[in-house]
Amino acid sequence: MACALVRSALRRKPPLQPAGADRRRYSLRSGTLERAIAAFRSVSGDEGVSLGEAVREQHGRDESVHKCRPPDVVVFPRCVEEVSALAKICHQYQLPIIPFGTGTGLEGGVGALKGGVCFSLRNMDEVLDLHQEDFDVTVEPGVTRKALNSYLRGTGLWFPIDPGADASLCGMAATSASGTNAVRYGTMRENVLNLEVVLADGSVFHTAGRGRRPRKTSAGYNLTNLFVGSEGTLGILTKATLRLYGIPESMVSAVCSFPSVQAAVDSTVQILQTGVPIARIEFLDDVMIGACNRFNSLSYPVTPTLFLEFHGSSKSLEEQVSITEEITRENGGGDFAWAEDEEMRARLWKARHDAWYAAQALRPGCKAYSTDVCVPLSCLPQIIVETKEDLMRNHLTGPIAGHVGDGNFHCIMVLDPDDPDEVQRVHEFTERLARRALAMDGTCTGEHGVGLGKRTLLREELGPQAMEVMQRLKATLDPKNLMNPGKVL
Ligand SMILES: Cc1cc2c(cc1C)N(C[C@H](O)[C@H](O)[C@H](O)COP(=O)(O)OP(=O)(O)OC[C@H]1O[C@@H](n3cnc4c(N)ncnc43)[C@H](O)[C@@H]1O)c1[nH]c(=O)[nH]c(=O)c1N2
Ligand SMILES: CC(C)CC(=O)C(=O)O
Ligand SMILES: [Mn+2]
């Protein structure tokens, strides 16, 4: 059923003068933007279209250091029909479309490089269909992961993918996000069952067929995973059907300190090799744990550290924990510091998730830039040791935090943006790190995406043939190159 606002689309408003519209960023015939804005207002009403400078600025930036590029207009659709109608207008007037979730991205994905229209999806925030007995749920794009888990309270179910930030679930699908629980529950790639998508021309389709939500399928090409990680460059995700999980009977967290990076990473590899179904295994190097101690008033030893979490029945936890403890001991790890009650565990994971802010607090007034490489597990000790040497050699501040169970880690580079020499050294370091990962058969991004900064590295990673296939897919789905232009490819 068409949304009420679309049904009233014939209401006409006088054209508005778009404040600050930057026509140099795309060629527009005189009056085009004004006409498009009038059409947006006829679909979404005055309240659904914003030209205010503060609103545009806020929607042209994410949490990264990439320069803020505000869109010319921000629209706030309330239903898929409205998204489709607005996209049709953009298509008609050839205006770029930039989807916006919550702006927590770390690769500059929401910057309006060529101007255009930001589609803020925050007003589409309903949890639509919960099938408890089937372990799935369908959400609108503005629902955040915390909001979903609050909604699920009392059902015995949860959605475990946890990037720390309270990101929108469709933003997480768009960036193929993961985080601390991925070692046990997978990433967004494994947990999205179906997506509703609005393409650049306003047409709407479902990647796995309307209403479909089987746990597995062999039916044709995997269009769902084509859109997971597409970073707004192929279409606007307007619904996601997600896998849910039963909340484990028990959860126990632990912290363990190690004499060296090698010992911590060797323990990780051995824990996984023994088949312990560990739920979280996070590495923090000495600099990172020191920063977390300061930021969160904690007092863990300032040495390479693992934060771990076990999920399961009380009986299975005993076994998981004793195997893990034995492995860590054999690698020279210290005693486990346990966190069993919910408050203690929450404190521990808050400290881990605050790593970004803790790192920035090391140098007040400086900015942070996150790297995000992922390598095969067996290469982890070598790449982390080499990376730490590289940081020391170049006098750079880059505490390391990693989802080591997946071979994924971040150096959070803290730099003075007004020091061109330091900026250059950080840039060279991050490229070297990514190439080191590529040389080990890894990737330049495990979870943050390509966005603006990693397009060259993507080419190196995939090679010309795979890039050409991607470009052809993009040209088929978005021949006018309106969807988030300048990103990924
Ligand atoms: C402190 C902290 C910690 C972390 C992270 C961030 C921060 C600030 N992140 C990164 C971030 O949370 C992650 O990239 C989210 O998936 C982004 O979701 P947003 O809703 O904020 O998307 P945001 O609005 O930032 O958009 C990101 C990209 O997705 C596109 N997009 C958004 N919504 C869309 C939609 N409905 N349809 C189509 N395209 C859409 C945008 O166009 C853009 O290209 C992260 N990530 C991670 O994977 N693991 C981690 O551990 C962390 N940790
Ligand atoms: C800024 C990043 C380090 C955020 C992230 O991905 C993490 O904390 O794992
Ligand atoms: Mn991460």
pLDDT in tens, 386-430: 999 999 999 999 999 999 999 999 999 999 989 999 999 999 999
Ligand closest to 368 (CA) is 2
The C-alpha atoms of residue 316 and residue 297 are separated, in whole angstroms, by 33
Q: Is the CB of 448 under 6 A from ligand 1?
A: yes
Q: Is the CB of 354 under 6 A from ligand 1?
A: no
**Paired residues of 282 in beta bridges:** 307
Q: Is the CB of 96 under 6 A from ligand 1?
A: no
Contact residues for 349 (Cβ-Cβ < 8 A; gap 6+):
180, 253, 280, 307, 309
The yes-or-no verdict on residue 66 having pLDDT over 70 is yes
Contact residues for 287 (Cβ-Cβ < 8 A; gap 6+):
362, 397, 398, 399, 400
Helix axes 380-393, 261-273, angle to 10 degrees: 160
Contact residues for 303 (Cβ-Cβ < 8 A; gap 6+):
257, 258, 259, 286, 289
Looking up tokens 């720390």, which residue turns up?
164
- Do the beta carbons of residue 361 and residue 412 sit within 8 Å? no
DSSP symbols for 382-415: HHHHHHHHHHHHTT-B--EEEEGGGTEEEEEEEE
Q: Is the CB of 5 under 6 A from ligand 2?
A: no
Cα of 450 to ligand 1 centre, how many Å?
A: 11
Q: Is the CB of 42 under 6 A from ligand 1?
A: no
pLDDT above 70 covers what percent of the chain? Answer: 94
Of ligand 2's atoms, which has the minimum distance to the CA of residue 403? 9
Confidence of residue 338 (pLDDT cuts 50, 70, 90): confident
How do beta strands 305-312 and 280-284 pair?
Answer: antiparallel
Buried b / exposed e over 399-432, threshold 16 CB at 10 Å, is: bbbbbbbbbbbbbbbbbeeeeeebbebbeebbbe
The distance of Cα 455 from the centroid of its chain, to the nearest Å, equals 17
Cβ atoms within 10 Å, residue 269: 17
Ligand closest to 143 (CA) is 1
Q: Is the CB of 410 under 6 A from ligand 2?
A: yes
pLDDT (0 to 100) of residue 462: 98
pTM here is 0.95
Contact residues for 116 (Cβ-Cβ < 8 A; gap 6+):
25, 26, 71, 72, 73, 90, 95, 96, 97, 98, 482, 485
Contact residues for 377 (Cβ-Cβ < 8 A; gap 6+):
268, 269, 272, 407
Dihedral of alpha carbons 403, 408, 409, 410, sign: negative
Q: Is the CB of 103 under 6 A from ligand 1?
A: yes
Q: Is the CB of 402 under 6 A from ligand 1?
A: no
The yes-or-no verdict on residue 114 having pLDDT over 70 is yes
How do beta strands 250-257 and 305-312 pair?
Answer: antiparallel
Confidence of residue 340 (pLDDT cuts 50, 70, 90): confident
Q: Is the CB of 90 under 6 A from ligand 1?
A: no
Around 65, how many Cα atoms within 13 Å sit in the side-chain half-sphere?
A: 19
Residues 126-141: tens digit of each pLDDT: 999 999 999 999 999 9
If you count DSSP H runs as helices and E runs as strands, how many of each does the chain have, helices first?
Answer: 17, 19
Ligand closest to 179 (CA) is 1
The one-character DSSP state at 168 is B
Residue 58 in 3-state DSSP? helix
Q: How many residues can be counted in the chain?
A: 489
Ligand closest to 104 (CA) is 1
The yes-or-no verdict on residue 28 having pLDDT over 90 is no
Residue 482 in 3-state DSSP? coil
* 41-64 average pLDDT score: 97
Residue 466 in 3-state DSSP? helix
Confidence of residue 7 (pLDDT cuts 50, 70, 90): very low
Cα of 92 to ligand 3 centre, how many Å?
A: 39
Cβ atoms within 10 Å, residue 214: 12
The C-alpha atoms of residue 223 and residue 137 are separated, in whole angstroms, by 19
Q: Is the CB of 102 under 6 A from ligand 1?
A: yes
Alpha carbon nearest to ligand 2 atom 4, residue: 356
* C-alpha triplet 86, 88, 93: angle, nearest 5°: 100
The C-alpha atoms of residue 32 and residue 93 are separated, in whole angstroms, by 7
In terms of pLDDT, which residue wins out, 6 or 432? 432
* 279-297 average pLDDT score: 96
What residue ranges define each of the domains in the chain, with the CATH number in brackets?
A: 4-120 (3.30.43.10), 127-246 (3.30.465.10), 250-439 (3.40.462.10)
Burial of 55 (0-12, 13-18, 19+ CB in 10 A): middle
Confidence of residue 3 (pLDDT cuts 50, 70, 90): low
pLDDT above 90 covers what percent of the chain? Answer: 90
Alpha carbon nearest to ligand 1 atom 48, residue: 177
Residue 87 in 3-state DSSP? helix
Tell me the average pLDDT of the chain: 94
pLDDT (0 to 100) of residue 30: 74
In terms of pLDDT, which residue wins out, 362 or 17? 362
pLDDT (0 to 100) of residue 15: 41
Alpha carbon nearest to ligand 2 atom 1, residue: 356
